[in-house]
Amino acid sequence: MHVDVIVSDLSQRDASERLCAGIASRGVNIDALVNNAGYGVPGSYVARTWDTHAAFIQVMVTAVAELTHRLLPGMIERRYGRIVNVASLAGLVPSPAGHTLYAASKAFLIKFSESLAYEVERDNVHVTAVCPGFTFSEFHDVTGTRAAMNRLPRFLWMDAADVAKQGHAAVMAGKPIVVTGRVNSTIATLVRILPQRLVVGAGRRIGRLYRRV
């Protein structure tokens, strides 16, 4: 197997264009795109500079939309493509304070994926928003919240490999949205049927355990 590695900082405005140019120069056709780059900006919204938030939006929203826009035509032309946008359960539930733009960006990915999936299904291109909950990765180490996260019950957590497998199965089956794991699926269902005051209250209590506000 031959692997090409192209390093790119997606927070740069021209990163997606340069990345796609690099792919084209190698004569590579992209049949599968996984938009998985992401991070969190903990703390209150006004505590961070606008440049910090602008870079976050560039990575979490703009780069996803642009890479998809640039690579999708080839998939449609070849009548085959698979696009996975790694969203989050956070995009489906009320958000507590802190990480203000995180859930908003994930909600965008969910709606974007859902709409695009219906648009291109006739071209044999599948688009799926994968919505995991708490997942074992370096995410919380980077944001400095690992110690707080370790206080959460083990049953709330999933392994990254299991999330990836469920996401792969969903996009191959043509499902626009998948919430990974039984616990997360139950939470997503309860959010839809329980009174919002109860849901918001529960979210705030959990949020205090791991969000720095």
pLDDT at 188: 82
Confidence band of 213 (pLDDT split at 50, 70, 90): very low
The residue from 45, 80, 102, 175 that is catalytic is 102
Q: How far apart are CA 38 and CA 60, in angstroms?
A: 6
Q: How far apart are CA 133 and CA 183, in angstroms?
A: 9
Report CA dihedral (143, 200, 89, 17) to the nearest 10 degrees: -60
Tell me, yes or no, if 210 is annotated catalytic.
no
> Which pLDDT tens digit goes with each residue over 57-74?
999 999 999 999 999 999
The residue from 39, 45, 80, 106 that is catalytic is 106
For 66-104, b/e burial (b = at least 16 CB within 10 A) is: bbbebbbebbeeeeebbbbbbbbbbbbbebbebbbbbbe
Lowest mean pLDDT among 123-132, 162-171, 178-187, 193-202: 193-202
Which residues are CB-contacts of 74 (< 8 A; sequence separation ≥ 6)? 29, 30, 81
Type of residue numbered 62: T
Kindly report the pTM of this predicted structure: 0.85
Q: Which two tokens stand for residue 42?
A: 């903990």
Give me the percent of the chain exceeding a pLDDT of 70: 80
Q: How far apart are CA 78 and CA 125, in angstroms?
A: 10
Task: Look over the chain and give the mean of its residue pLDDT values, rounded to a whole number.
Answer: 87
Q: How far apart are CA 193 and CA 167, in angstroms?
A: 25
Query: What's the angle, vertex CA 132, arms to CA 129 and CA 137, rounded to 5?
Result: 120
Tell me, yes or no, if 39 is annotated catalytic.
no
Can you tell me which residue has the tokens 């560039």? 58
Name the CATH superfamily, with its identifier, for domain 15-210: NAD(P)-binding Rossmann-like Domain (3.40.50.720)
Indicate the domain borders of the chain.
Answer: 15-210
> Which pLDDT tens digit goes with each residue over 148-162?
556 666 767 678 899
> Which pLDDT tens digit goes with each residue over 2-49?
889 999 999 999 999 999 999 999 999 999 999 999 998 888 899 999
